[in-house]
Amino acid sequence: MSDIPETLAAHLARETTSLCHCWRVTRRDGTVSGFTDHDRPLMVAGTTFEPRSGFTASEARETLGLAADKVEIEGAISAATITAQDIAAGRWDGAGVETLLVNWRAPDEAAVIRTQTVGRITRADNRFVAELEGPEAALDRIGGRWFRRTCDAELGDARCGVDLDDPALMAAGSVTAVVTADTIRVTGIETFPAGWFAEGRLTATGGAMAGATVRVLSHRISGEGIDLVLWREGGGLPAPGDGFGIVAGCDKRFATCKAKFANDLNFRGFPHLPGNDAAYGYATGGQVFDGAPLVP
């Protein structure tokens, strides 16, 4: 727990207290929001904390060692502050959350008791549950490079070097229909072959999801039109009439890097790495042993 002001410490020492929790949430775009489990608004350190129906937190505990401790906060989806569209667009993902212990009779008596980050958010029955992760959660994430056959760079980043402003690699279009829960029918990318945008990224430029970026799983062309299957992680889809920008996809294979992007010199994987089949294999008659690379 952080330092407790003397006035709040004196209040905690009483037999009866008037305490509540407040959460100051700072999104990655800089938007700051305040919420409390009290039944009226509170002004604490320049931030107004609004009451929200059913806004509660699970049990919080801190353990010794480097294990990641997690807390969940639950509340109702509100048309004013926390909307289903914003959650689906990922605008709350990675937001910083400060948990404050506040004397609601004297809001100046407050202390920050925990600083965390919003991890996974789930929705059900017009409610949301946000998982808060402490600094230790970063220790569970793999850092450094991957030693594997496929590339570990992101298409277009500094290590990759591909120019995504190339008209051959990007396009703009609009949604004409929502086909299924994860598939949209689009127009504007008719000049590109099927599969060109598979594993690429689609960014909505209009509608409720404007600014949200999602991964494209599949790019299909049929007699009915052009369909894109999106990886939406439980979120929504762009609606008919919404515009979008889209960039080509890369499946991280050396052959794709060479043929599709002419970028084989910057390939950030190890395509000649033998797999388990080579490690457990043995020489037999009829095989070709000319020293050629495993991957052309």
Summary count for the chain: helices (H), strands (E): 4, 15
**Distance (Å, whole) CA 52 – CA 21:** 12
- The pLDDT of residue 65 is 46
Q: Mean of the pLDDT values across residues 51-62?
A: 58
pLDDT at 148 over 90: no
- Pinpoint the residues of the chain covered by CATH 2.30.110: 6-138
**Residues paired with 97 in a beta bridge:** 25, 116
Report which listed range, 48-52, 190-194, 276-280, is most confident: 190-194
Choose the weakest-confidence range: 1-10, 51-60, 143-152, 199-208.
51-60
Rounded to two decimals, the pTM is 0.61
Decide if domain 6-138 falls under CATH 2.30.110.
yes
**Candidate CATH numbers 2.30.230, 2.40.128, 2.40.30, 1.10.10; the one for domain 170-247:** 2.40.30
CA 186, 263, 276: angle at the middle one, nearest 5?
Answer: 95
pLDDT per position as a tens digit, 61-119: 555 444 545 667 766 666 567 777 777 777 788 888 888 999 999 999 999 988 888 87
CA pair distance 244, 202, nearest whole angstrom: 7
In sequence order, the 6+-apart residues with CB closer than 8 A to the CB of 254 are 149, 151, 264, 267, 269, 271, 295
Residue 23: predicted pLDDT: 87
C-beta atoms surrounding 134 within 10 Å: 18
Q: What does pLDDT average to over the chain? A: 83
- In the chain, list all ranges with CATH 2.40.30: 170-247
DSSP string covering 86-147, please?
A: HHHTTTTTT-EEEEEEEETTSTTSEEEEEEEEEEEEEEETTEEEEEEE-GGGGGGS--S---
Whole-number Å distance between alpha carbons of 31 and 135: 21
